[in-house]
């Protein structure tokens, strides 16, 4: 959950966010009217040739990965990959000197601040980028689930082989919840764990039948652990007694069964599924599999015990990553992000991607092999997503052109999610020109407490340095990039407690991008997939919407166009907020003192634009 700290109190933040979203949705509805030619090549919309080129490139890229995956039969060690993913994730804090800053709304949220060093230039007066964000602390009710297969797995107390998979999911739900109670208690919060006495004889039965609960009382309201589960249609059992934490005992029970049944890989996927639960607390019931995925193979026996111990020592990191509202979704979506594809070409990029991957989606095994071989660090999360039938939802998010973005999570994990993480270059630039991607990245990095651009893909085109605002021009020579990162937990007193004692280095990524968007009005017709325009329009509009809000205006002059050319672009349906259907929202004042005349105001504004365009230089 992104939050602009400069807006004031939490209630105002949520109200502003809701109003912004409503405004975006209304404007987008007007942008997506059927057009005679959805790809006219008008300087904003790409040409058919561009679309075809990007679609083909994307399709062939994924098909190459498919061929490589078919040749590679080596299993991926899920334990090693999850440890690698968690390596730089900040641990959830324990034993803080004073209470955490908590926002109580539908859920409980913890306040955090992320900081990036963005330049090594000693002359820069804004070397640090700061952003406030929130972590889920507790949810109002357990996550509802239903089972993928017919049968009642909870009625069984003994499982072997892959039938134990569901029990492992329930066990990790308990383990993270019990550890959550320990952590919150150490910070002075009223968190409790309830269940009857658990021992080696009844542990699995207690876990399978959800004969436990983990909760916190805050402000007189009861909340639950973000990993709490309750089968759809069942009621929560509230007759357990208060219990001491049994996290280590439960971990040992899981370790023993993993060693006995040789199902450590399955256990890691079960953990990854549970880590995805907090962000699913606001949705419909989650589907849980009763059997383990057939794509897994046993890892090396020699490394089994040591790696499992290393993972269990990272439970605090599991809590932090799991409780990032859109963090895991942003990681899943990142596999489809290509930093060389500008916002107006996302439709073609996702068309090629879906053409290559959707035929593999049903089987799951080949699709997972393709994704996991290319992005091995994300293999546990993607395997978990396939297990709980989340792939279609992730596809939809990406195909819409505006997948979720979480820069703190991207910084922890070293994953590239946005163009602001990339250093761009282009062959089509004059000495006094700058890519818009670099302009907007600089604008974000030097503007305090700003949200990142709403869409991850870079804006198209270029601009002249004389057209930049004063602040960007001042910082051009400082080479701002996301270089080093650290995070702070915010206390109720406003104090900041560092989650890392030192800064974490950010990965360096270079990419080339086209400096111009070609125009081609005389093109033939080609077959277009559904929603192609929607994806590019969504991505383009959200990217420019962000720029318009940061700059409190929009200026697209490159330095050589006529006023009519600039006006055409600024009024483009993929960019402009104004729409002929917006008249109903115009302020009405029937008094003689003042009457709003939209046409008159627009003429006045365009007169100013024309005057500036015609001015020398």
Structure confidence by residue, pLDDT tens digits, 121-153: 999 999 999 999 999 999 999 999 999 864 443
Secondary structure E strands in 271-322: 286-288
pLDDT score, position 153: 39
Question: Cβ distance 138 to 218 under 8 Å?
Answer: yes
Which range among 25-34, 245-254, 558-567 shows the weakest confidence by mean pLDDT? Answer: 25-34
Average pLDDT of the segment spanning 420-443: 89
Neighbour tally for 34: CB within 10 Å:
6
The residue with tokens 């973005």 is 405
Taking the C-alpha atoms of residue 501 and residue 604, their distance in angstroms, rounded to an integer, is 55
pLDDT beyond 90 at 592? no
The sheet with strand 221-224 has its strands ordered as 221-224, 212-218, 191-195, 242-243
Phi and psi dihedrals of 478, rounded to 5? -90, -10
Which range among 91-95, 445-449, 484-488, 561-565 shows the weakest confidence by mean pLDDT? Answer: 561-565
Taking the C-alpha atoms of residue 377 and residue 381, their distance in angstroms, rounded to an integer, is 9
DSSP SS3 for 529: coil
Which range among 59-63, 239-243, 249-253 shows the weakest confidence by mean pLDDT? Answer: 239-243
| Close Cβ partners of 39 (under 8 Å, ≥ 6 residues apart) | 45, 46, 47, 48, 50, 51, 523, 528, 533
pLDDT score, position 9: 40
Percent of the chain with pLDDT over 70: 73
pLDDT beyond 60 at 518? no
- Distance of alpha carbon 239 from the chain centroid: 38
Phi and psi dihedrals of 453, rounded to 5? -50, 140
Taking the C-alpha atoms of residue 456 and residue 435, their distance in angstroms, rounded to an integer, is 16
pLDDT digits (tens, 9 = 90+) for 400-411: 888 999 999 999
Question: Cβ distance 380 to 367 under 8 Å?
Answer: no
How many CA atoms lie within 13 Å of 541's alpha carbon, on the beta-carbon side?
27
Q: Which of 228, 434, 466, 440 is nearest to 343 (CA)?
A: 440
pLDDT digits (tens, 9 = 90+) for 349-377: 999 998 888 777 555 677 888 888 889 99
pLDDT digits (tens, 9 = 90+) for 594-604: 444 445 544 54
**Helix count (H) and strand count (E) of the chain?**
20, 18
pTM: 0.83
* Domain range annotation of the chain: 2-134+326-551, 139-291
- Distance of alpha carbon 490 from the chain centroid: 22
pLDDT score, position 284: 78
pLDDT score, position 294: 59
For residue 308, give Cα distances in angstroms to 216, 249, 388. Answer: 29, 15, 23
């Amino acid at each position: 959950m992104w939050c602009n700290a400069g807006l004031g109190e939490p209630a105002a933040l949520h109200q502003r966010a809701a109003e912004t979203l409503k405004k975006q949705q209304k404007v987008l509805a007007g942008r997506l009217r059927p057009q005679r030619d959805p790809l006219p090549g008008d300087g904003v919309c790409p040409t058919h040739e561009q679309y075809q080129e990007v679609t083909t490139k994307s399709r062939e890229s994924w098909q190459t990965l498919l061929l490589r995956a078919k040749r590679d039969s080596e299993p991926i060690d899920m334990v090693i990959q999850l440890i690698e993913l968690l390596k730089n994730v900040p641990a959830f804090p324990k034993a803080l000197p004073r209470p955490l800053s908590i926002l109580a709304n539908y859920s409980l949220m913890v306040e955090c601040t992320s900081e990036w060093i963005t330049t090594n230039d000693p002359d820069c007066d804004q070397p640090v980028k700061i952003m406030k964000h929130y972590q889920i602390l507790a949810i109002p009710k357990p996550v509802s689930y239903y089972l993928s297969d017919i049968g009642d797995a909870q009625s069984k107390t003994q499982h072997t082989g892959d039938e134990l998979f569901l029990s492992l999911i329930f066990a990790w739900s308990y383990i993270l919840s019990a550890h959550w109670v320990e952590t919150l208690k150490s910070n002075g919060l009223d968190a409790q764990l309830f269940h009857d006495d658990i021992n080696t004889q009844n542990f699995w039965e207690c876990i399978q039948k959800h004969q436990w609960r983990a909760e916190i009382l805050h402000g007189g309201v009861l909340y639950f652990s973000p990993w709490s589960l309750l089968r759809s249609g069942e009621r929560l059992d509230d007759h357990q007694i208060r219990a001491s934490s049994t996290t280590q005992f439960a971990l040992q029970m899981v370790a023993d069964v993993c060693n006995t049944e040789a199902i450590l890989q399955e256990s890691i996927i079960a953990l990854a599924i549970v880590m995805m639960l907090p962000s699913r607390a606001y949705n419909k019931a989650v589907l849980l599999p009763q059997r383990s995925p057939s794509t897994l193979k046993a890892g090396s026996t020699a490394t089994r015990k040591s790696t499992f111990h290393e993972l269990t020592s990272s439970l605090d990191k599991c809590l932090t990553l799991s409780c990032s509202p859109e963090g895991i979704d942003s990681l899943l979506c990142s596999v489809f992000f290509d930093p060389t594809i500008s916002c107006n070409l996302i439709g073609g990029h996702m068309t090629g991607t879906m053409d290559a991957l959707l035929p593999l989606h049903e089987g799951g095994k080949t699709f997972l092999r393709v994704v996991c071989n290319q992005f091995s660090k994300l293999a546990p999360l993607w395997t978990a997503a396939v297990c709980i039938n989340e792939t279609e939802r992730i596809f939809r998010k990406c195909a819409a052109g505006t997948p979720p973005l979480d820069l703190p999570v991207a910084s922890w994990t070293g994953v590239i999610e946005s163009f602001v993480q990339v250093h761009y270059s282009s062959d089509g630039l004059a000495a006094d020109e700058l890519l818009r991607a670099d302009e907007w990245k600089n604008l974000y990095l030097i503007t305090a407490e700003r949200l990142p651009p709403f869409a991850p893909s870079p804006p198209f085109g270029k601009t002249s340095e004389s057209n930049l605002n004063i602040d960007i021009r001042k910082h051009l020579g400082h080479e701002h990039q996301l270089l080093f990162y650290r995070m702070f937990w915010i206390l109720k007193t406003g104090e900041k407690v560092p989650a890392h004692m030192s800064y974490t280095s950010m990965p360096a990524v270079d990419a080339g991008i086209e400096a111009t968007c070609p125009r081609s009005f005389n093109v033939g017709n080609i077959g277009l997939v559904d929603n192609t325009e929607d994806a590019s329009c969504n991505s383009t509009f959200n990217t420019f919407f962000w720029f318009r809000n940061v700059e409190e205006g929009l200026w697209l002059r490159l330095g050589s166009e006529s006023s009519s050319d600039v006006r055409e672009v600024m009024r483009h349906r993929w960019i402009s907020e104004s729409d002929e259907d917006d008249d109903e929202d115009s302020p009405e004042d029937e008094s003689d003192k003042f009457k709003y005349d939209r046409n008159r105001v627009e003429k006045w504004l365009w007169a100013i634009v024309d005057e500036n365009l015609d001015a020398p230089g």
